Amino acid sequence: MPKFELKKTEIKKEDGFISYADFARTALNNTPQSGFSIDEMRKRMRILDILDKEKLGFEEMDLNNEDIKILKSSVSSMKWGVIHKDIIAFCDAVEKLGGE
């Protein structure tokens, strides 16, 4: 099963620094233009549950092929509100994940 490293970024938040886990949560919670189907909600919630259950911050996350597909789709459709090199690095890391 592929592992996705949840790196720490240079972007500060109140209690430390933003991680790739934070970026993943943001992308997965981002509403598609057409909204969420129940099936899409379930698929995204599976990944969010992994992030939340394990309280993942700066570790690695195990993803199956379906999870990778959903994460890639969520990240590729995300419109970011700021320009930052760490966001680009995160998107590049997601794109390089196997699973197709």
Q: Where are the domains of the chain?
A: 3-96
Residue 90 has a CB neighbour count (10 Å cut-off) of: 24
Closest-CA residue to 18 (of 1, 27, 68, 39): 27
- What pLDDT is attached to residue 16? 80
Q: What is the pLDDT along the chain (100 residues), one digit of tens a residue?
A: 667 777 778 787 787 888 898 999 999 999 988 999 999 999 999 999 988 876 655 577 888 999 999 999 999 999 999 999 999 999 999 999 985 5
The pLDDT value recorded for residue 58 is 53
